[in-house]
Amino acid sequence: MALLSAFIGVLAAISLFLFSIQKFSNQIQRVAGDKFKNIVTAATSTPFRGLLVGAIITSFVQSSTATTVMLVGLVDAGILSFYSSLGVVFGANIGTTLTTQLLALNITAFAPAIVVIGFFMFMFNTPWKRWGKPIFYFGLVFFSFTIIGIFIEPLQDDPLVLSLFSSTTSLPIALLVGLLFTALFQSSTVTTGLAIVLTATGIIAFDQAAAIVLGANIGTTSTALIASLVMNTAARRVAVAHALFNIFGVLIFLPFLTPLIGVIQGWQVSPEQQVALTHLIFNFVPAIIFLILIQPFSMVVTALVKGRH
C-alpha cells in the first residue's frame, strides 16, 4: 500500500513538473515576444554562433525538446535553412544540462521561496509584474522534484523497490529505461532529475544513473521526429539530425563509459553532482565533435532524408 501511494505521489509530482515546465516555457516566450525567433534567425550565421544560441535559449526555456520543435517549425516555414539549424541543435543539448546542474546544487531548497516571490510579483502591481508568472513556474519546476524526493525517500530500504531497480545494473536495460521513460514523458529533464533524486537517496548507484541519462538522450528525440512527419523535407532533416546526433553521441561514450564513471567517482563531489557532471559531459563533448564535423554530418543527413526544398 505504501508503495502504491508513493507511486501515485511521484506520478502526480511528475505531472506537476511537466505542467510547470510547459507553462514556464510558454511564459518566457510570451514575455520575450518574437525576440527568441529574431535571435535565432539573426545569430545563426555560423555554426558556432548557432551552438551558443541553442545553449542560451534552451537554458531559458528549460527544454531541448521545445527548442528543437521550434527549430523544426522555423525551418518548415523557410525562416531558417537546414544547415543553419544544426548548430542550434547541438547547443540545445548543452543548454538542457542547466536544470540538472541546479538540481545537483540543491536549488530545490529555495524552490518554495521562488514560488512565493513569483506569486506576489504577479498578484500585485509592481514594475516586475510580467516576470511574476515565469518566476512562479520556474520555482514550481524544482518544487516538483522536492515532492518527488519526499515520496521516494521512505522507499530507499523497501525490498521490492530495491529488487525492481537492481535490474537496471545491466547497461542495456538501464539505457532502455532512460529511453522509454523519456519518450513516455517527452522530457529528458524529468528522467535525469529522477536519476539524480534516486541516486541521492541511494536507491540506484551512480553507474546505473549514468546509463539511464544516456538512454534519456536518445528518448528526447522522439517529439521532434513526430512533429516533423507532417512537415517539409528540410524540417524532417532537422529532426533526423537531432536523433542521429544524440544516438551517435551515446555510441561515442559507450566504449569509455566504465573508465569515465571511475574517473568521476574519484572526484570529491556528492553522488547527485556526479550524475549532473556526467550529464554535462555527455552533452558537451558530442556537441564539440559534431560542430567540427558539421559539413560531412549535414551531407549524411541530406543523403538519408531525400527530397526537394
- CB atoms closer than 10 angstroms to residue 201: 18
| 52-110 per-position pLDDT tens digit | 888 887 777 666 766 776 777 777 767 778 888 898 889 888 888 877 777 776 777 78
Tell me the average pLDDT across 286-300: 93
Q: What's the pLDDT at 192?
A: 84
Euclidean distance between CA atoms 86 and 71, whole angstroms: 9
Q: What's the pLDDT at 167?
A: 66
Report which residue type is found at 136: F
| Arithmetic mean of pLDDT over the chain | 80
- Does 39 score more than 70 pLDDT? no
Tell me the average pLDDT across 238-258: 89
- Does 38 score more than 80 pLDDT? no
Top-confidence range, 35-44, 152-161, 245-254: 245-254
For the record, the C-alpha cell of 106 comes out as 540543491
Tell me the average pLDDT across 115-119: 90
Q: What's the pLDDT at 294?
A: 93
For the record, the C-alpha cell of 2 comes out as 505504501
Burial class, 191, CB count within 10 angstroms (exposed 0-12 / middle 13-18 / buried 19+): buried
Q: Which of 108, 179, 182 is nearest to 146 (CA)?
A: 108
For the record, the C-alpha cell of 43 comes out as 545569430
Q: Which of 220, 208, 212, 289 is nearest to 248 (CA)?
A: 289
| 193-243 per-position pLDDT tens digit | 888 888 887 888 888 889 999 998 888 887 777 777 777 888 888 889 989
Q: What's the pLDDT at 160?
A: 64
| Grid-cell match 506576489, residue found | 120
Q: What is the DSSP string of the chain?
A: -HHHHHHHHHHHHHHHHHHHHHHHHHHHHHHHTTHHHHHHHHS-SSHHHHHHHHHHHHHHHT-HHHHHHHHHHHHHTTSS-HHHHHHHHHHHHHHTHHHHHHHHTTGGGTHHHHHHHHHHHHHS--TTGGGHHHHHHHHHHHHHHHHHHHHHGGGTT-HHHHHHHHGGGSHHHHHHHHHHHHHHHT-HHHHHHHHHHHHHTTSS-HHHHHHHHHHHHHHTTHHHHHHHTTS-HHHHHHHHHHHHHHHHHHHHHGGGHHHHHHHHHTSSS-HHHHHHHHHHHHHHHHHHHHHHTHHHHHHHHHHHS----
Q: What's the pLDDT at 244?
A: 93
Q: Which residues contact 64 (CB under 8 A, 6 or more apart)?
A: 58, 92, 93, 95, 96, 188, 220
Q: Using alpha carbons only, what angle is made at residue 177 by residues 228 and 104, rounded to the nearest 5 degrees? A: 95
Q: What's the pLDDT at 165?
A: 66
Q: Which residue has the higher pLDDT, 68 or 247?
A: 247
- The pTM score is 0.75
